[in-house]
Amino acid sequence: MKFTLNFIKEFFNPQKEASYIAERLTLAGVEVESLKKENDDWIFEIEVTSNRADLLSIFGLANEISAVLGKRLKILFPSIKKKTVDLKISIEDKKDCPLYIASVIKGIKVVKTPDWLKERIANCGINSVNSVVDIGNYSMLKWGHPLHIFDLDKIEGRIFIRRAKEGEFFLGLDGKERRLTSQNLVIADEKKIIALAGIIGAENSCVDENTKNILIETAIFSPLTIRKSRQILGISTESSYRFERKVFPQLLEATRAASVQLILKLCGGNFLGSKKVGGVSSSSKKIKLNVNSLKRYVGVDISFSEAKNILERLNCKVSKENKEVLKIEPPFFRDDLKEEVDIIEEVIRIYGYEKVPEKLPSILPQKDDFYFWLSFKEFLTRLGLKEIITYSIVKESYLEKLKEKNFIKIVNPLRKEENALRTNLLLGIIEAIRYNLNQKNKIDGFFEIAHLYRKEDGRFIEEPYLGIGIIEKPLYLKSYIEEILKFLNIVNFEFKKEDLPNFTSALFVEKDKKIVGFLGNLKKELRDFFDIKKEIYFAQLNLSLLKEMRKDKFFKPFSFYPKVSRDISLAKKKEFPFENIMEIIKSSVGEYLESVEVIDTYRGEKIPPDFEGFTLRLHYRSFERTLQSEEVDKLHNQLRKKLLFPEVKGKIILR
Amino acid sequence: MEEKISLLEKEAEEEIKKVKAEKELEEARVRYLGRKSTINQLFSQLPKLEKEKRAYIGRRLNLLKEKIERLIKEKKLQFEKKEEEIDFTVISPCLHVGRKHLLTQVIEEICQIFKNLGFQIIEGNEIEDEWHNFSALNIPLEHPSRDVFDTFYLDLPPQEGGKFLLRSHTSPSQIRVMEKFSPPLAVISPGRVYRPDNPDASHSFMFHQIEGFCVDKEIDFSHLKGVLFYFAQSFFSPQVKLRFRPHYFPFTEPSAEVDISCIICQGKGCSVCKGKGWLEVLGCGMIHPKVLKNCGINPKKFSGFAFGMGVERIAMLKYRIADIRIFFENDVRFLEQF
């Protein structure tokens, strides 16, 4: 909302610098976003919060500025004589339009708009059209009630305030044609629509330089009806903005009187009278303010008389009920003041937030998971992974491509195709990898922790997950999972082979028959679909399950006796799973086997082409004694023999 | 015997001098000092000698042994000196250093500050219903005050809390916690929020907020100011100034917007603060009695304050980032900076 200092001076002279006024207004909650000098005037641009309909008029702003500067503004509302004129007006639904007043002036002359008037409205952001329309806008700015002026001679017969028929067309003053629905409220005569109620007039009935007779429409429309009507058409005007917030019958009268008077003064003509349909009653309410609640709420002593003074400056009627309680009747244009806290805010914002001291409350610290999750993310970075944050809203077509089911869709998406909530963290990882590959960046590996969502039995499930994606050394993916589970002290988990629709070589991570996650290699077909030139190895873990399963850590003793290590070189047929070799190792060397590591892998001429070679190092150790070289050799030879058994012949070659 | 010793001494001296590699030196050591060495053989012959000679020869042998040991040691030192130098001027190899996303770091830092004051961190769900996102917070369903809360609706069948949606702010967590627990409460709730805003340098349809609130007997506006002062000075700088501007939020009364003195120009006026010297960082206020009532808390007995801030905005100010979209591009060159 824009206003100017000279416009305010039509009500009172603040006798203060514009910059001082701007600062005081800002500190009282009317934020001045910009202040500009224009000839001999100052233009203020302010942010009006949705509760303050009163600030959408120069009159309301003058009242506020006066209060902020320390004085009560005396307001004189313009009025005109009551005269009725015969007009036929029908309101289809009083809920849409509780009050409609049509005022008629005949014999006017559309003259040149005087410069002062042109400047007033221009500085408030409204272009000059012609003197009559300009006076209408000036009156609206000054008193806050939107009005519309028709060329009376262009109206044919009775006036209707009704909902539009489905598919009716409307050509607005902005030159745009719109197709209406029953959500739109219109003003129509017997032949045509003459205005989109509360929003914009039609070209077919507007005032032009030849206009002689006019009809001034001042009405009250339902804020909700106007809001829906303009939302559906995607427009917003000075008029709809005000109707949506709140209009007041008293200001309607003031606006109407002011515009009639000014038109008679500048354009001549005779005021024939007006026709009023409907009516609204305004009730005054009284709010009690206990000075003790003021102190309890704000933490500062404001005296009884100071509170009273502040409220009176705001044009509230204030009386003393007893020593502690004030009875307040806010002015009609402050219907945002409804209860005691609203009054408290009024007092404190004019008093000044800056005068409230700072204190710290004493709070007893409580437990939560904060440090656990903090250290969990910290741990993931220790694995050398980089955290990414990607969008939770994804393309439905992508989820379908991934054969995902039960995903939740957005009814009103920003972009039509991005309309689903993700059910996996894969898409985000793919996007980050693709982006960085295109940028030729070095990719070590990414992780993301985020919620995933899905439908289940008509309700929804939202749970946190961890996703990891790498493009090199696929076996590391398994190491990461093992390390994560070790960090969480989750033991006795298993990796189980599984067929997954989007991955090859997939494994489930299982514990106590619950699937806590999976890992796999993204299928080539999908890599091609997402246009990624590299393989993507992806793992996903359910964090609510892991959180349930994690256990406190206690020291685990280890042996102090020396370790004895033996190497074995072998080759296995490629499709023969390595875990079968591990089973043989475990079953044959038994209790003294501490661990096995792969120290070398080999593919080449020395072994058959469908084989791959490994050099394994077996570590033996006892808890009770130093193992003798001979007994380890014995165990190791047993193992070599077992690896030559007929069951595995042709699958394992010892080297 | 003495001759043998002299010869041996000469021979050893010359040979050790000639040694060119560490391996040869080891061979020489074995030859002259090892189990089968001449010295050892000579030592073993000692008992056969007469008493006086035995002592004399013994001493000479020991001296010789010490001399050879010393020569070998000296030679060894020479080799050690010749050990290859590392050229540290070579470009160092790349390490795989993991990183937390900057937003995670900022969220953790902010939570930590409030944790020091005794706040508890509780995260909420992103899928919410109209009751928790709007009505319970005193935001009427069809009202201009909802314009800033444009919301994504979901295709889930409505339940008692109304239609389901993606939360447009973290305030629903406030309601959830107050419905479930009774005061005293001091909670911080960080998380993702969603609004159908067209993406540009300062808008994203997904971003992060941190909600905080405190409800107890005798909590007043001065506590809100105190807590936010503590936060701003800990997070931005001890010199930062704060300005509380009255504002309107349906769920708080009185409400305020909080500005910090511009951290770039220290309040003098620059392009970031648009010459104002102040930067808006959060919204706050005393929790509206209706909101407390909606959660079954008696507003006559308890009062509380609440505040909310945008994590991206604060991170952008602190780290001087001009475009919000960079947070979600996940460019490695961005991730590696923090």
Q: What is the pLDDT of residue B145?
A: 62
Q: What is the pLDDT of residue A90?
A: 94
CA B116 to chain centre: 17
Which residues 338-397 in chain A show a CB within 8 A of chain B? 339, 341-342, 344-345, 348-349, 353-354, 356-370, 374, 377-378, 380-393
| Among A27, A47, A45, residue whose Cα is nearest residue A37 | A45
Positive or negative, the CA dihedral A220, A223, A225, A230 is: positive
**Minimum CA–CA partner of A383 in chain B:** B98
Give me the mean pLDDT over the A463-485 stretch. Answer: 96
Distance from CA of B17 to the nearest CA of A (A): 41
CATH class of the domain defined by A370-549: alpha beta
- Amino acid letter at A545? L
**Minimum CA–CA partner of A361 in chain B:** B223
Give me the mean pLDDT over the A211-219 stretch. Answer: 95
Residues in chain A with CB shorter than 8 Å from the CB of B95 are 384
Read off the pLDDT band of A21 (50, 70, 90).
very high
Contact partners, residue B273, CB within 8 Å, separation at least 6: B262, B264, B265, B279
Strand pairing partners for A270? A106
Which one is the CATH code of A287-351: 3.40.1410.10, 3.40.50.2000, 3.40.50.300, 3.30.56.10?
Answer: 3.30.56.10
Are A462 and B125 contacting, i.e. CB atoms less than 8 angstroms apart?
A: yes
CB spacing of B225 vs A382 below 8 angstroms: no
Res A116 pLDDT > 90: yes
Q: What is the pLDDT of residue A101?
A: 96
CA A28 to chain centre: 27
Strand pairing partners for B211? B189, B308
What fold, for A89-278? Phenylalanyl-tRNA Synthetase; Chain B, domain 3 (3.50.40)
Query: Domain spanning B102-335 has what CATH number?
Result: 3.30.930.10
**Domains of chain A by residue range:** 2-69, 89-278, 287-351, 370-549, 564-654
Judge residue B279's burial from the number of C-beta atoms within 10 Å of its C-beta, 0-12 exposed, 13-18 middle, 19 or more buried. buried
**What predicted TM-score, i.e. pTM, was given to this entire model?**
0.84
Q: What is the pLDDT of residue B334?
A: 96
Which residues 15-34 in chain A show a CB within 8 A of chain B? 26-29, 31
B30 touches chain A (CB under 8 A): no
Whether A287-351 and A2-69 are alike in CATH topology: the answer is yes
CB spacing of A377 vs B156 below 8 angstroms: no
> Which of A54, A225, A230, A363 is the best substitution to test chain B (most B C-beta atoms within 10 A)?
A363
Contact partners, residue A236, CB within 8 Å, separation at least 6: A230
CA distances from A651 to A613, A618, A648, A655 (A): 12, 21, 5, 13
Which residues 454-493 in chain A show a CB within 8 A of chain B? 455, 458-460, 462
Question: From edge to edge, which strands make up the β-sheet containing B206-216?
Answer: B120-121, B185-194, B206-216, B303-310, B278-287, B252-261, B242-249
**Minimum CA–CA partner of B204 in chain A:** A391
CB spacing of A458 vs B111 below 8 angstroms: no
CA distances from B312 to A50, A564, B77, B104, B309 (A): 25, 55, 61, 10, 9
Are A554 and A544 contacting, i.e. CB atoms less than 8 angstroms apart?
A: no
Residues in chain A with CB shorter than 8 Å from the CB of B334 are none
Res A436 pLDDT > 70: yes
Give me the mean pLDDT over the A31-53 stretch. Answer: 93
Q: What is the pLDDT of residue B51?
A: 82
**Among A186-190, A240-244, A362-366, A423-427, which stretch is predicted with the lowest mean pLDDT?**
A362-366
CA distance A253 to A137: 15
The 8 Å CB, 24+ separation contacts for A336-341 are A336/A51, A336/A52, A336/A53, A336/A54, A337/A287, A338/A285, A338/A287, A339/A287, A339/B289, A340/A287, A340/A288, A340/A289, A340/A290, A340/A293, A341/A297, A341/B253, A341/B254, A341/B286, A341/B288, A341/B289
CB spacing of B127 vs A460 below 8 angstroms: yes
What fold, for A564-654? Alpha-Beta Plaits (3.30.70)
Q: What is the pLDDT of residue B149?
A: 66
Q: State the alpha helices, DSSP H only, in A352-474.
A: 370-382, 396-401, 426-438
CA distance A403 to A425: 14
**Domains of chain B by residue range:** 2-81, 102-335
- Amino acid letter at A23? E
Q: What is the pLDDT of residue A198?
A: 95
**Minimum CA–CA partner of A410 in chain B:** B154
Relative to beta strand B185-194, strand B120-121 is: parallel
Residues in chain A with CB shorter than 8 Å from the CB of B144 are 50, 223, 227, 244-245
CB spacing of B214 vs A361 below 8 angstroms: yes
Distance from CA of A399 to the nearest CA of B (A): 16
pLDDT digits (tens, 9 = 90+) for A284-328: 789 999 988 888 888 888 888 999 999 999 999 999 989 889 999
Are A46 and A32 contacting, i.e. CB atoms less than 8 angstroms apart?
A: yes
Q: State the alpha helices, DSSP H only, in chain B.
A: 2-18, 22-33, 38-45, 51-81, 102-116, 130-133, 171-180, 221-235, 289-294, 311-319, 326-329, 332-335
Pick the more confident residue, B16 or A500.
A500
What fold, for A2-69? Phenylalanyl-tRNA Synthetase; Chain B, domain 1 (3.30.56)
Distance from CA of B74 to the nearest CA of A (A): 35
CA distance A623 to B266: 66
CA distance B255 to B305: 10
Both ends of chain B: CA-CA distance in Å?
Answer: 77
Q: Which residues of chain B have pLDDT under 70?
A: 81-83, 144-149
CA distances from A481 to A139, A384, A513, A539, B70 (A): 71, 13, 17, 8, 56
Q: What is the pLDDT of residue B144?
A: 67
Q: What is the pLDDT of residue A422?
A: 97
Res A43 pLDDT > 90: yes
Read off the pLDDT band of A395 (50, 70, 90).
very high
CA distance B260 to B238: 12
Helix (H) or strand (E) holding A60: helix A58-69
Q: Please, what is the average pLDDT of chain A?
A: 93
Res A568 pLDDT > 70: yes
Structure tokens at B171: 């305030």
